[in-house]
Amino acid sequence: MYENEIYSGDNKADNNGASPYFDYTARPTEELNRESGSTGKKKEKRKKEPGRKPGAFKKIMLSVSMGLCFGLFAGVGFYGVQLATGQLVRTNGSTDVITELPEGIVTYPVDGESEETATRYVTYVQDDVSDMVEEVMPAMVSIVSNYVTTGMNFWGQTYSQQATGSGSGIIVGETDDELLIVTNNHVVEDSTGLQVTFIDESTAEAVIKGTDADMDLAVIAVPITSLSEDTQNAITIAKLGDSDNLKLGEPVVAIGNALGYGQSVTNGIVSALNREMTTEDGSTGTYIQTNAAINHGNSGGALLNINGEVIGINAARIDGSSVEGMGYAIPISSASPIIAELMERQTRTEKIAEDEMGYLGIYMQAVTDEYASLFDMPKGVFVKEVTEGSAAEAAGILKGDIIVKFDGQRITSATDLQQTLQYYKAGENTIVTVKRSVNGEYQAMDLEITLGKRPANK
């Protein structure tokens, strides 16, 4: 019996030039031993121990070392390029201005500077605005407005009930007697009472000092005597900025009493400038558009730049399931002159005795929404007749005019006008705004009037 089988052959020709062959034959063990000189004992072959091939560990360590070296050199190179181009971003501040550049960096004139004095400024912004918010928050307030709503029940009976609305405000000034706060007109319009909440959670009653319905602005006043010393020390006056120099993409922060839950902070960028839109009451204005979340209750709050300056007053938001990230603010550069004028107005908190109350001398009828829509008329008070020798006649008010404002305050009904006159004495001077039909179009006119005294039989 054969104990071994041998396979022999190669792919070379033999000495005789024969083609390669394979010899796969069985041969006796003794013959094999004789040819090999073996004693018949099998040679024991050393078995290789299982494990990694020799040198594998060294190869792994070499690869790791090369990777670390590559990362180190890449990081150093990136740092050097960023430093050389002035684009290195730090992470420990909100805003920095770099005024010194490494040697070899070419600078260019900016805003008329000469080549010798030209300096390149690099501004960068961080997501962390907590320091700025902490600084400006004492100038922000929450506003609760009380008003009366009317409706009709199931049986057709008219009823009225008390309701409340929420809004926001910004502290913009202080006198010896009052703390002055700007907000939106629609936040305080038709209110029967206003409560303001400050940074220290204290509250105080406020009164309307002046409004501008067209710009949707109002200034309300809080008596200094109603504020505790702690509150006076806790609050600050906001710093107004410049909205004329805003750029698309510039970061902004919105602060306000969103949904009436208290002050909250959102951030975003300037999405559009000089965006024209029409509000629910039909007035058209130009706004800053931002993607910072602005919800109900944010109205009257602040839109700030990264330096904590008020660059807009949050005013409107487009609602709808298909619209997101579109909030609007009144540009502060447009609002500032109006705010300044409203702050100068006399605060009227006490009603005048009936026999001393101012008098216009007109017969009037309200222009309701139905009439305004049907006859394409502005909403206000229609002058049916002007009394001869009255203050209205002296001021130039004509039959057919529509009174839309009294002393800057919007007038939409006869009740509005009567309630407003309760705070004005006979002999006072003020401005009445009317809209008069000229060649088929209504034009606004401001007429100065000296209020007369109510006749005894009126």
**For residues 95 and 123, is the Cβ–Cβ distance under 8 A?**
yes
Cβ(292)–Cβ(232) below 8 Å: no
Residue in the structure block whose two tokens are 């949904």: 259
Contact 257, 297 (CB under 8 A): yes
Q: Are the C-beta atoms of residues 423 and 348 closer than 8 Å to each other?
A: yes
Residue 200 structure tokens: 């220290």
Catalytic residue among 212, 214, 216, 416: 216
Active site includes 283?
no
Distances (CA, A) of 367 to 299, 377, 445: 28, 8, 18
| Cβ neighbours around 218 below 10 Å, total | 29
CB 211 within 8 A of CB 335: no
Please name the helix (run of DSSP H) or strand (run of DSSP E) that holds residue 264, with its range, or none. strand 264-278
224 burial via Cβ count (<10 Å: 0-12, 13-18, 19+): middle
- Given 145, 168, 191, 299, which residue is catalytic? 299
Task: State how far the alpha carbon of 438 is from the alpha carbons of 15, 122, 203, 379, 444, in Å.
Answer: 125, 55, 49, 17, 10
Radius of gyration of the chain (CA): 42
Q: Can 296 be counted among the known catalytic residues?
A: no
Could you give the residue ranges of the DSSP H alpha helices within 300-350? Answer: 332-343
Q: Clarify whether 200 is annotated catalytic.
A: no
Q: Which residue in 166, 186, 401, 407 is the catalytic one?
A: 186
Residue 236 contacts residue 306 (beta carbons within 8 Å): no
Collapsed DSSP state (helix, strand, coil) of residue 180:
strand
* Contact call for residues 286 and 275 (beta carbons, < 8 A): yes
Residues carrying an active site annotation = 186, 216, 299
